[in-house]
Structure 1
Amino acid sequence: MDTVLCVLTLNIYYEKLFIFLWFWLLFVAIVSTINSMKWVYSLCSSTKAQKVIQNYLSTAPMKSQITDEQFFRTLGPDGLFVMEQMALNLGDIPASYLTISMRNICQNWADSEDEYDDDRQPLTTIKSH
């Protein structure tokens, strides 16, 4: 008894298409996993962001009274992450201008905070209506 296999030409093309799509989805899954690991590392580590921002601050035309470490402490880890992402998305030149301007603002903010530090009184009583 002979067995006849029904082979449609469209099935052959569909098979090749699905094999390609399977490998494409595998490739996208691997790249997405690597990118997710990179983001987690970037969120947990601020040393790369500090190096990038330090390079931007070294291009400042004049030196500031606030040190880089004070600026990094003022920004905090979340501020460093945001500055790093701005540097990635804006480019080097606008990010360096933004970083230098933020350090100058940070210096002015620290100076004004010192002036008003003595005038601040803690809130001891709360009026209730």
Structure 2
Amino acid sequence: MARKKKQTKEERLEKKRIAEKIRYEKIKNDPQRLAAEKEKRKQKYKKLREKRQARKKNTPSNLNDELVGPEFRDHEQPQQVNFEINVPETLAPKPNPRLKSTREQSQKQRYKRNQEIKQKMS
């Protein structure tokens, strides 16, 4: 008998994703199982919060008193970056001499090629 072909990693992951979708669809359709799943997620989140692995939403980690690490001190101020207003003159691209020379070369080659084509046609 022929051996079964081993599944690739992608095939296994795809199969796993499909099974996960089906499982969550069943949970969504059953209100009791959905409530149990929500409670399970809440407990998991609480556990992560105690370990300080999960962060609260919409709060920067360095300003949240609860999550401040030992490296942050009150007397240290975060660095402030001064952004200057972008003036169009400062943003204008500088001419690149190498680019200019290659452009000229390609124009010359194109001109020669066109001349050869014209000679062949006439």
Instruction: Give me the TM-score of the superposition, normalised by structure 1.
Output: 0.25
Q: Which one has more relative contact order, counting CA pairs under 8 Å at least 6 apart?
A: 1
Structure with greater Cα Rg:
2
Structure 1 or 2: more helix by fraction: 1
